[in-house]
Amino acid sequence: MGLFDVLRGELIDIIEWIDDSSHSLVWRFPRHQNEIKNGAQLIVRPGQIAVLVSGGELADVYEPGHYELTTPNMPIMSTLQGWKYGFESPFKAEVYFVSTKQVTDLKWGTPNPIMLRDPEFGPIRIRAFGSYTLQAVDAKALLKELVGTNSVFSADDITELLRSIIGSSFADLLGKLQVPALDLAAKYSELSEALRKEVVERIDDEYGLDCPQLFIVNISLPEAVEKALDTRTSMGVIGNMDTFQQYQMGQAMTAAAENPAGGGAADGMGLGMGLAMASRMMPGQGAPVAGMPMAGGAPPPPPPVVQWHVAANGQTLGPYSMEQLVAAISSGEVKQGTMVWTAAIGGWTAAGQVPQLIAYFHAATPPPPPPAS
């Protein structure tokens, strides 16, 4: 082997890209004046594609493998350079490596709320966010449309573009499917796949990119709508409102009885709640009972209703019917010394001295227990 053969062997290049980043899409091999030696070794690793660019024109594309850059291995370059009989001298060309692996952990979200006409809530605004992956599938389209003369190109360089595409596609998808707001959460998988297809249609042919995976992580409603939904859910859990109110009044009365330090104010509050409960438990008399026919002929006029007022802690409570007052006497809320008033007696009188009420106090007091045998 002659001296020139030894020198020629020492000048053979090794062209390769060892990518240690997670978001890189394109990298241009650095060469002084873009000169590549005849017989240079081109190493394309799995997950990569190499593209030769000569004179601003895209030339040969190399899949993963080990290549020696000679005339047979560069048919397009040979045509562009006019090498009819091979070449021995260095030639000028740019080598771009394109990563074909998936770039993961990319985020998207709607920058502004999307207006939606919901059949139940009317016009509402919703937001959404999620994640997606990106992959280069057409190296020449990617170089031509996005990379240009950049020496390095990553997924971060097109994040804003892709977020805009995904957000616009999501708005179009909602308008097309007309899914009610309350049903969106049950259709995340279906909506995610439909959105992914919409996005792929916009970036595949134009930019040479693919979106293998796209996920909708959350779709949120306005805070006011969420509070209204929480209120509706709470009402559904409570069920019968009358029963719930009776339960609340009973709990309050028990708490007042266990807190004797509450004084007159607590007594007045307990009396008011007790009479209110009596009002619910003993509605007005004379109302027709469902399912029972009324006797023939016109009913007689109802007797006048006696309205009672009760004094408690310097306040006047009422008016109450006789039935409500009797119920309060039976429960101990109205005692013999409690001052009551009605138009029939004319002035405030102790309940134990009102002829209409005396019998109820004696009936409420049990006789002494019999002697033990």
Return the CATH number of 103-227, one of 3.40.1190.20, 3.90.550.10, 3.30.479.30, 2.40.160.20. Answer: 3.30.479.30
pLDDT, position 7: 41
Q: Give residues with Cβ within 8 angstroms of 224, minimum separation 6.
A: none
Closest by Cα among 365, 176, 337 to 267: 337
Question: Tokens 């469902």 sit at which residue?
Answer: 290
Residues of the chain with pLDDT under 50: 1-10, 285-287, 289-291
Residues 204 and 134 sit within 8 Å (Cβ to Cβ) = no
Print burial letters for 188-199: b (CB count within 10 Å at least 16), e (below 16): beebbebbbebb
Q: Taking the domains of the chain in order of start, what are their residue ranges?
A: 3-99, 103-227, 241-281+306-364
In this prediction, residue 273 carries a pLDDT of: 61
Per-residue pLDDT at 132: 96
pLDDT at 1: 44
How far does Cα 156 stand from its chain's mean position? 26
State the fold for domain 241-281+306-364. Dna Ligase; domain 1 (3.30.1490)
How large is the C-alpha radius of gyration of the chain?
44
DSSP 8-state secondary structure symbol assigned to residue 102: P
The per-residue pLDDT for 281 is: 55
- pLDDT value of residue 227: 77
Structure confidence at residue 6 (pLDDT): 41
Q: Where do the DSSP E strands lie in 234-354?
A: 308-312, 315-320, 339-341, 349-350
Same topology for domains 103-227 and 241-281+306-364, yes or no?
Answer: no
pLDDT for res 87: 76
The confidence score (pLDDT) of residue 15 equals 92
- Cα 326 to the center of its chain, rounded Å: 54
Among 128, 113, 123, residue whose Cα is nearest residue 195: 128
